[in-house]
Amino acid sequence: MSISRNREEFVAVTALIVSMIIWSVSGIAIKHALLVLPPLTMIVMRFIPSVLLMLVIGLACRKSTLFGLQKIDRKDWPLFLIAGFCQPFLYYLLETFTYDALHSPTIAETLLSTSPLISPIFAAVLLRERVTRNNIIGILVSTAGVFALTLIGSKDYSIGSYWGILLAFAAVSAAVIDSIMMRKVPAKYTSLTFIFYAQVVSLLFFIPLWWCKEGPQTLQSLDWSQLADISSQLSVALGCVAYLTVFASVIAFILFCSALRKVGVTQANAFNNIRPAFTALWMFLFFGEHLPIGKWIGMVLIIIGLFVCQKKEVQ
């Protein structure tokens, strides 16, 4: 029993790390895609193919306990509706407004990385999850590492609109509530089923918003004669959207959902702290971005905090 449980925990932790590695590249991919595509257009282009991909996989693997696509009971629909509204839809909108309202992207990134601080409160109140002393210590140490990683070396600490701070915490809260819904959904549903229907619900909100804000303008602004001039940029943008579709919107979400349902909301969300660390590492390795010693210390604190957070307390 103990060996089986340890194996399950190892698989869950591995799934969480892989999902965070995938998502750590998402910000870089989004940044490059937005050089060519408007924000809502990029989101719609990302999630429509991901939903279709999951539909094909789900129908082809109906008997799979991980990738099968199932019919939802009527009484469970509210969980899927809340999840889809909170994330991707609400989180993405609030995240965009946060970056717009705050002068410093560094401050915005730091505030948007605070879900591990908030998730224990939601988990304890809504799920009655037990939050241990090691969870709290590990999260605090790891979050201190995130602040060190994102703030050291920053040249701009101006806040901008204080509404931006509220928007950031609202975005984080939406993401945590989505995690709560993952945990509350009955175990009979596969992870793909949850992610598929949540993204379908989010598209029901995204597509009308896209049509009102960007749709007609985007279609009218298409100049086929100039496509050859921006073909290289367009190729990069479409490649980034493809990465976001397959890896960030399907694989990472399924891995995260599967792991969260095993280890709980508090421990799963603690892994969000390693996303900025991996992003900084990719920028250092592939884009030559300088990493002062303080940022390396921040990475070490994040890793130490995660180890402490996962450590079982001796009874």
Tell me the one-letter amino acid at 68.
Answer: G
Burial of residue 72 (number of CB atoms within 10 Å: 0-12, 13-18, 19+):
middle
Cα–Cα distance measured from residue 239 to residue 32, given in angstroms and rounded to the nearest whole number: 10
Residue 279: name the closest of 49, 24, 60, 44 by CA.
24
Would you say residue 111 lies in a domain? yes
pLDDT above 90: residue 22 = yes
| Structural domain contains residue 225 | no
DSSP classification of residue 185: S
pLDDT of the residue at 112: 80
> Which of 95-104, 194-203, 233-242, 297-306 has the weakest average pLDDT?
95-104
Please indicate, yes or no, if residue 227 is contained in any of the structural domains: no
In a domain, 64, yes or no: yes
Spatial neighbors of 56 by CB under 8 A, at least 6 apart, are none
Confidence of residue 313 (pLDDT cuts 50, 70, 90): low
Query: Is the model's pLDDT at 8 over the cut of 90?
Result: no
**Cα distance between residue 293 and residue 36, in whole Å:** 35
102: β partners: 160
Cis bond before residue 88 (omega within 30° of 0):
yes
Asked if residue 151 lies in contact with residue 106, where contact means CB atoms within 8 angstroms, the answer is yes
The tokens for 32 are: 């490059």
Position 121 scores a pLDDT of: 85
Q: Under 8 Å CB-to-CB from 159, ≥6 apart: which residues? A: 102, 103, 104, 107, 165
Q: Which two tokens stand for residue 144?
A: 């201190």
The predicted pLDDT at position 156 comes to 56
Over residues 218-253, the pLDDT tens digits come to 766 655 455 555 567 788 889 999 999 999 999 999
Q: Give the pLDDT confidence score for residue 160 in this predicted structure.
A: 66
63-79 mean pLDDT:
89
- Alpha-carbon Rg for the chain in angstroms: 20
Tokens coding 135: 């969870």
CA-CA distance, 259 to 311, in Å (whole number)? Answer: 16
> Residue 315 falls within a domain, yes or no?
no
In terms of average pLDDT, the best of 97-111, 150-164, 196-210, 262-276 is 196-210
Q: Which domain holds residue 83?
A: 2-217+238-310
CA 109 to chain centroid, in Å, comes to 13
Alpha-carbon span 150 to 113, nearest angstrom: 10
Q: Total domain count for the chain?
A: 1
pLDDT averaged over the chain? 85
**Does some domain include residue 301?**
yes
What predicted TM-score, i.e. pTM, was given to this entire model? 0.86
User: For residue 197, which of 180, 174, 178 has the smallest C-alpha distance?
Assistant: 178
Does residue 275 lie in a domain region?
Answer: yes
